[in-house]
Structures are given as C-alpha cells and as structure tokens.
C-alpha cells in the first residue's frame, strides 16, 4: 500500500466500478491535495458522478481503495465519513425550515444544542441567509436554495466537500456571480472542495486542478492552463475549449521539431517535439483559434506555420471576431481575433483571401 | 381580428365554467339532495302509513297549514345511552381496523414504491385485483375459512396443533379481519402514490449528513408521507365506521356497529325518522375529520407555492 503523502487528502487507488457488466469507472487513480479546489470534468455518462458517489460512500468500488486523510474509507458508510455532499438537486428537506435543514447534520452528530444554534447561525451568516432562517425551502429562490445546501454541507466542517454540478440549476447571470462566491468561500474556509461538472468554463474558473474524465477513465489531470494549453490527447483537446484539429503525415524531423504534411490544409506544418525520431506516420496536431493571426498580406517572421484560405463566415462580437476560413481542399479553420484597434470598417471581410499563421510553439502535438 | 379572438376567449371561458360546474352538479344531485331528504325524514315523526313518517309541510283543507319539525328523534338518540355506546364502538372498531390497515399497508406500499417500474405495476395490479370479485362474495368467503369447520380450523385440527376449533368467526376478531382485508387497498394506494414520489436524493442527503437508514426513515420518509397516511386512513376509516356487510356477515351477536343498527331501525323497527337521525349524526361525526384533512391539504398546497 502507498504511504500517505502529507499533502494528499484523498487518494483514489485503481478504483473500478461496474454496474451489471457496464464499467462506469475504469481503473482510476488520483490524488486530491489538502485545501485545493479540484474539479472532475466530463460529459454525461463519463463516470464522474459515480466517482463522486464513491467518494461520498453511496457506492462501493468493485475493486480498488479510497483513502481519505490516510484512512481507508472504501467500506465506510456515508454517515461515518468526514465528507459531505452538496447535491445537484440540493435535496433540501422540504418539511424543515432553512435553520432545521442546516442543523440536521449536527443533530445527527449529537452536538449540544447551544453549539448547534451557534454554528448554524454562524454558517447562515456566512452564506448570507440569516434573515431567511425560518423559511421552508419551497419559499426560496434557486440561488438561496443553493446556499442552504452549501451551508448544510459545510456546517459539519467536513474534511472534504463534494459538489455535484453546483451551479447547473442556476441561471447564467447568477451562475457567474455564485462561481466567484464559491471560490471565495473555499479560500476562506480552506476546506478541500471537489466539484463535479460537465461545464468546462465552470471547471476552468473554479478549480486549481482539473481531472478530465472520458469513458470511465482519467484523460488528463492538470491545472486549467495545463489542460487548455497542453492537452494530453485528442479527447481533452476537443472537450476543453475550441480547437482546430489537423491530421497529417510526418514528412521530416530535425532539431526537436517535426514537420508534417496536411492535405486538408494544403500546407507543411511544424510542431515542437522532444523525440521527433519516435513519431512517424499519421499524426494529429491542433491549434487554438486565438493563437492564429489572420491577415490579407503574407505574414512576416520565422517559425510560423502558414495556411491560405477564404473567409466563409464572420462573427463580429465587438470585443472580438470569429472567422471560419476555408482552405482550397475544403477544410475549415476557426480563428478568433481581438479587435484591438477602433475601426468601423472590418479589416478582413467575407470572401477575402487571407493568410492564417501561428507560432510553431503554439502548435499542439497530440499523440493519442 | 382582436374582437374575434375575444369572442373565442369568452366562449372557451364559458365552457370552462360549465366543465367546472359538473362536479358541483354531481355533488348537488347525488349527495346534497339525498342528504336533504334524509334530514327531512329525521325531523319527522314515525307513523304507520306509506311512507312511514309525517310530512314536513302540512296541507289541510284550507291549504298550507304550516311546517312540522320535531327534534325528538335526535333527543331520543342522546337520551338512550345505547346509541352513544354503539357510535363509540363503531368509531373504535373502525379506528383499530384503520390502524391495522396502516401497519400492514405502509410496509407494503413502501416495498412496492421501491421496486423497478415494471414490477411496481404488477404488484399494484395484484393490490387492486380483488376488486374484480364482488365485495359481498369476498366477505362471505371468509366464513368458509374461519368457521369452526372451516379450512383453517380443519387444517390445524388435522395436523394436531389444536384439539378444539379456534373461535375465529362471529366475533370482533372476524370483523377486524374483514375490515383489514376489505379496505387494505384503500390504504395502500394513497400511501404508494405518496411514497413513490419521494425524492430519493433526500435519503442520500440524510445519510450524508450522518443519519442511519432508520433515522433517515423517521426524519425524512415518515414526515413526508403524512399526507398519504392521512389520505389512506380517511379512505379506510370513513367507510369502516358505517360498515354493514362485514359485521353482519362475520360479526357476532355482541358486535355492535352503527351500520347494523341503521339496518335494524329501517327494516325491522321500520322507524325511518330515528334511522335517518342515526345517519345524520353519523355523517356529522365523519365530516369533522374530512374537513380537518381538507384544511391540512389546502395549507400544504399553499406551502407548496
């Protein structure tokens, strides 16, 4: 068994969960560090909720272990874990007031009454719900319910707080606001948060680290910037943010660089590679739309990949514009550009012949 | 254009009003009208005639002579301790029968509500299947099971477990059994429809907050199923109080229930006014819990907004 590293609060070790033959979680191992806001990101059915339910204790792994604070929790029932979960549906008890909802967990812990009142009041003040303490949940707005659910889970001072799609039920404006409140709260309390979400923006803005899950496996773990700028594989690259995926054939390798021929773009592209000799045949490279410069004149400067095309679509958003540029062979490249200079006339228009260029360093080599 | 649509709106509104008035019409025709007739008879005096009571409005040679109302039948009910005892006995039997229905029906409803959908429908069908056979026949069938020479006693005697038949028929036990057997579906169905709607996340939330399974049941499932419990209990209790068939077929001579007294007053004593008074009082006794339930429901409905 692995020694518990002092910084890892949660250690998931080779956990697999099967339901009637279907594998929901497939040999997942990961560490969640003390005090971090960790996000598990994936589309529906990727196994993220099952993983969360195993952390909470509602499901038992088919195989593998889960350690929390160095203690094996694999067989421990939910009511004995130092873990609380904020449900996606909030799951507030409809027959109890806000105050009773928040106090429930402490009552089950047999905390003395005076302390319960004190801690509940403190928690309600923290989430700014003190004036609504006597209300029933059905008299609350969505945002208020979300805060009650949060207060109810946090009042037990769990070592680990799990949040299942915490913002999914809120409307867009409230979501952005709540997102920052949640991150602030986590910073204030220092509790370890694990957020499960299908929303990449939510994961990117909230989390200190993200685990991207696909088909029951971890596709990549890293900081938001790592996951965005250095996606480990084609799935992560396509799932997080917009990206242009380009298939090609290796045509040369030299000086830590790989050159490839893309028929779709009708161009030779270069990409940085630690061991160019080890890669050959069909490869996939990618580039983010905002890394591409669009111009009507041929671009200057070395170390740039250049592609020619015609503007087929143009979306003007004020602060930025989105272009869809078609190459001679019919492939479409997405480009986004900040509108840095004030001008009522667009520099690039529909049907313009344009050059697209980007740094070799911005090109992502995807090996799988 | 707008005039036209307005006209349509008015038209559909009229239709809506008509549709809404149907239940009221129903109540008026089949509840209020018979009740008023019974009420009228209950304030008349018994006479040997056809019909066997005095008319409400007196018509003489000179035309309308006045209204004749007497409360002597009600006074008689209250003075004669016999009726009070029977009312109480009926309420007690119905209450105990309802309690047994609840104790038996709750776990059944709970179990059905937690089954996969396919199985749930099958089990519900099993619950309502007995309705396909006449109620009278089903109650009658118990005689064959419970009597001294019935199936159960014969079997127990046969295997030597007892040497004298157990007295299971023509006593209160048989009546309770009949009530529980006959009314159990009325308990299970409202309970089921309540328990089936329970958000299972709430139970997970309770477990997450430190509640064991039985605690989650006591703290969450049980309080949230109170409307189902009340609904089921009323559906069993109200008809059970006035039950006639079950005590008549399965009860003993000493099983006193108001339904039997009603029958005796109507058909044996032929005292229609007293019989009517008995049923008016019974109705008033039963309206109280219904009104209480209505208030509880409307309060819940308001809270649900």
Q: What is the pLDDT of residue A5?
A: 47
Mean pLDDT confidence for A22-46: 94
Residue A173 has pLDDT above 90, yes or no: no
Question: Minimal Cα distance from A89: which residue of B?
Answer: B201
Residue B2 has pLDDT above 60, yes or no: no
Percent of chain A scored above 70 by pLDDT?
A: 98
Confirm whether B304 is domain-assigned. no
Band the pLDDT of B10: cuts 50, 70, 90: low
Given this structure, which CATH class describes domain A8-239?
A: alpha beta
**Coil, strand or helix at A347:** coil
Band the pLDDT of A305: cuts 50, 70, 90: very high
- Lowest mean pLDDT of A97-111, A300-314, A339-353, B139-153, name the range: A339-353
CA torsion sign for B28, B30, B32, B36 is positive
B210 with A77: Cβ contact below 8 A: no
Domain segments of chain A: what residues?
Answer: 8-239, 244-366
Residue B73 has pLDDT above 50, yes or no: yes
Residue A269 has pLDDT above 80, yes or no: yes
- Helix H or strand E segment including A208: none
Band the pLDDT of B4: cuts 50, 70, 90: very low
Which stretches of chain B sit within 8 Å of chain A by CB? Answer: 199, 201-202, 204-212, 215, 219-220, 223-224, 303-305
Confirm whether B26 is domain-assigned. no
- Helix H or strand E segment including A185: helix A172-189
Q: Reduce the secondary structure of chain B to three states and give it as a string.
A: CHHHHHHHHHHHHHHHHHHHHHHHHHHHHHHHHHHHHHHHHHCCCECCCCCCECCCEEEECCEEEEECCCCHHHHHHHHCHHHHHHHHHHHHHHHHHHHHHHHHHHHHHHHHHCCCHHHHHHHHHHHHHHHHCCHHHHHHHHHHHHCCCCHHHHHHHHCCCCCCCCCCCCCHHHHHHHHHHHHHHHHHHHHHHHHHCCCHHHHHHHHHCCCCHHHHHHHHHHHHCHHHHHHHHHHHHHHHHCCCHHHHHHCCCCCCCHHHHHHHHHHHCCCHHHHHHHHHHHHHHHHHHHHHHHHHHHHHHHHCC
- Determine the angle formed by the axes of helices B117-128 and B172-196, rounding to 10 degrees: 150
- The distance in angstroms from the start CA to the end CA of chain A is 31
Q: What's the rounded Cα separation, in Å, for the pair B127 and A166? A: 41
Residue B305 has pLDDT above 50, yes or no: no
- Joined together, the tokens standing for residue B100 give 């047994």
For chains A and B, CB pairs below 8 A equal 64
Q: What's the rounded Cα separation, in Å, for the pair A119 and A101? A: 13
CB-based contacts of B171-175 (< 8 A; 24+ apart in sequence): B171/B251, B171/B252, B171/B255, B172/B93, B172/B251, B172/B252, B172/B255, B174/B142, B174/B146, B174/B250, B174/B251, B174/B252, B175/B93, B175/B97, B175/B246, B175/B247, B175/B250, B175/B251, B175/B255, B175/B257
When divided into structural domains, chain B yields a total of 1
- Joined together, the tokens standing for residue B46 give 């018994």
User: Is A102 an 8 Å CB contact of chain B?
Assistant: no
Cβ proximity of A367 and A279 under 8 Å: yes
Q: Which strand ranges, in their side-by-side order, compose the sheet holding A257-262?
A: A267-272, A257-262, A244-254, A282-287, A364-366
Confirm whether B198 is domain-assigned. yes
- Joined together, the tokens standing for residue A327 give 């190459």
| CATH of residue B113 | 1.10.3720.10
Q: How do residues A185-241 score in pLDDT, each as one tens digit?
A: 898 889 999 999 999 988 998 999 999 999 999 999 999 999 999 999 999 999 998
Q: What is the pLDDT of residue B102?
A: 97
Mean pLDDT, chain B, rounded, equals 87
Mean pLDDT confidence for B197-212: 95
Question: For chain A, what is the radius of gyration of the CA atoms?
Answer: 25
Confirm whether B113 is domain-assigned. yes
Smallest Cα distance from B96 to chain A, Å: 28
B205 with A78: Cβ contact below 8 A: no
- Determine the angle formed by the axes of helices B172-196 and B81-113, rounding to 10 degrees: 40
B157 Cβ contact list (under 8 Å, min separation 6): B163, B165
Confirm whether B64 is domain-assigned. no
- Which residues in chain A have Cβ-Cβ distances shorter than 8 Å to B305? 138
Q: What is the pLDDT of residue B9?
A: 52
Tally Cβ neighbours within 10 Å of residue A201: 14
Question: Minimal Cα distance from A152: which residue of B?
Answer: B209
At the second CATH level, the architecture of A244-366 is Beta Barrel (2.40)
User: Is A140 an 8 Å CB contact of chain B?
Assistant: no
Band the pLDDT of A275: cuts 50, 70, 90: confident
Confirm whether B16 is domain-assigned. no
Residue B301 has pLDDT above 70, yes or no: no
Q: How do residues B229-251 score in pLDDT, each as one tens digit?
A: 998 999 999 999 988 889 989 98
- Which residues in chain B have Cβ-Cβ distances shorter than 8 Å to A58? 204, 207-208
Which candidate in B210, B212, B229 is best for mutational testing of the A interface (most A CBs within 10 A)? B210
Structural domain for B217, as ranges: 80-270
Q: What is the pLDDT of residue B1?
A: 40
Q: What's the rounded Cα separation, in Å, for the pair B35 and A20? A: 60
A368 Cβ contact list (under 8 Å, min separation 6): A232, A233, A234
Band the pLDDT of A27: cuts 50, 70, 90: very high
Q: How do residues B89-119 score in pLDDT, each as one tens digit?
A: 999 999 999 999 999 999 999 999 999 999 9
Confirm whether B252 is domain-assigned. yes
Q: What's the rounded Cα separation, in Å, for the pair B195 and B192? A: 5
Q: What is the pLDDT of residue A172?
A: 83
Confirm whether B72 is domain-assigned. no
CA torsion sign for B196, B202, B208, B213 is negative
Q: How do residues A314-344 score in pLDDT, each as one tens digit?
A: 999 989 999 999 998 889 999 999 988 888 8
**Coil, strand or helix at A6:** coil
φ, ψ of residue A81 in degrees (nearest 5): -95, 145
Tally Cβ neighbours within 10 Å of residue B49: 9
What interface predicted TM-score (ipTM) does this complex get? 0.85
Mean pLDDT, chain A, rounded, equals 91
- Tell me the CA distances in angstroms from A338 to A244, A293, A351, A353, one per residue in order: 18, 10, 20, 19
Mean pLDDT confidence for A272-295: 88
Q: What is the pLDDT of residue B77?
A: 86
Residue B29 has pLDDT above 90, yes or no: no
Q: What's the rounded Cα separation, in Å, for the pair A108 and A84? A: 13
Strands A209-214 and A37-41: parallel
Bridge partners, residue A162, by sequence: A85, A194
User: Is A153 an 8 Å CB contact of chain B?
Assistant: yes
């Amino acid at each position: 068994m692995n020694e518990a590293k002092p910084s890892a609060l949660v250690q998931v070790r080779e956990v697999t969960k099967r339901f009637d033959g279907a594998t929901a979680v497939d040999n997942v191992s990961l560490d969640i560090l003390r005090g971090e806001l960790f996000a598990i990101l994936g589309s529906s059915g990727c196994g993220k909720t099952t993983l969360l339910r195993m952390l909470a204790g509602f499901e038992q792994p088919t195989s593998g272990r889960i350690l929390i604070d160095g203690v094996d929790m694999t067989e421990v029932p939910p009511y004995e874990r130092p873990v609380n979960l904020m449900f996606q549906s909030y799951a507030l008890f409809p027959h109890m007031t806000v105050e009773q909802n928040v106090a429930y967990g402490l009552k089950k812990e047999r905390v003395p009454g005076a302390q319960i009142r004190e801690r509940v009041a403190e928690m309600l003040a923290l989430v700014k719900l003190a004036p609504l303490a006597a209300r029933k949940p059905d008299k609350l707005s969505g945002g208020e319910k979300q805060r009650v659910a949060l207060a109810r889970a946090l009042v037990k001072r769990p070592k680990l707080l799990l949040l299942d799609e915490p913002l999914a039920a809120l409307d867009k404006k409230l979501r952005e606001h709540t997102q920052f409140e949640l991150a602030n709260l986590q910073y204030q309390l220092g509790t370890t948060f694990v957020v499960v979400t299908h929303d990449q923006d939510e994961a990117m803005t909230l989390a200190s680290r993200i685990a991207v899950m696909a088909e029951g496996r971890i596709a990549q773990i890293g900081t938001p910037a790592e996951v965005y700028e250095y996606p480990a594989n084609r799935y992560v690259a396509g799932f997080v943010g917009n990206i242009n995926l380009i298939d090609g054939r290796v045509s040369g390798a030299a000086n830590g660089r790989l050159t490839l021929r893309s028929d779709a773009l009708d161009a030779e592209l270069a990409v940085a590679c630690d061991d160019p000799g080890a890669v050959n045949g069909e490869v996939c490279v990618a580039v983010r739309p905002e890394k591409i410069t669009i111009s009507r004149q041929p671009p200057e400067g070395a170390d740039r990949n250049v592609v020619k095309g015609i503007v087929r679509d143009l979306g003007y958003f004020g602060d930025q514009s989105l272009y869809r540029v078609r190459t001679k062979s019919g492939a479409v490249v997405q480009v986004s550009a900040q509108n840095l200079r004030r001008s009522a006339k667009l520099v690039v228009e529909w049907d313009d012949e344009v050059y697209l260029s980007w740094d070799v360093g911005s090109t992502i080599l995807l090996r799988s | 254009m707008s005039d036209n649509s307005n006209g349509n709106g008015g038209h559909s509104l009229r239709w809506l009003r008509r549709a809404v008035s149907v239940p009221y019409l129903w109540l008026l025709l089949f509840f209020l009208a018979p009740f008023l007739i019974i009420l009228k008879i209950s304030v008349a005096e018994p006479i040997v005639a056809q019909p066997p009571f005095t008319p409400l409005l007196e018509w003489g040679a000179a035309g309308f002579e006045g209204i004749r109302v007497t409360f002597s039948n009600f006074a008689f009910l209250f003075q004669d301790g016999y009726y009070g005892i029977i009312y109480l006995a009926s309420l007690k039997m119905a209450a105990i029968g309802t309690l047994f229905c609840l104790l038996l029906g709750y776990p059944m409803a709970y179990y059905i509500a937690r089954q996969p959908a396919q199985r749930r429908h099958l089990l519900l069908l099993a619950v309502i299947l007995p309705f396909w056979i006449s109620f009278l026949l089903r109650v009658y069938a118990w005689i064959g099971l419970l009597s001294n020479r019935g199936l159960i006693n014969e079997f127990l005697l046969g295997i030597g477990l007892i040497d004298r038949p157990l007295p299971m028929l023509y006593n209160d036990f048989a009546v309770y059994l009949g009530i529980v057997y006959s009314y159990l579906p009325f308990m299970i169905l409202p309970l089921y429809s309540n328990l089936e709607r329970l958000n299972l996340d709430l139970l997970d939330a309770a477990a997450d907050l430190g509640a064991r399974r039985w605690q989650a049941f006591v703290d969450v499932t049980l309080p949230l199923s109170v409307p189902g419990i009340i609904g089921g209990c009323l559906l069993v209790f109200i008809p059970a109080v006035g039950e006639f068939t079950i005590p008549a077929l399965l009860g003993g001579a000493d099983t006193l229930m108001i339904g039997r007294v009603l029958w005796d007053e109507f058909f044996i004593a032929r005292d229609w006014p007293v019989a009517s008074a008995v049923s008016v009082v019974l109705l008033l006794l039963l309206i109280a819990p219904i009104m209480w339930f209505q208030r509880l429901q409307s309060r819940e409905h308001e809270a649900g907004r």
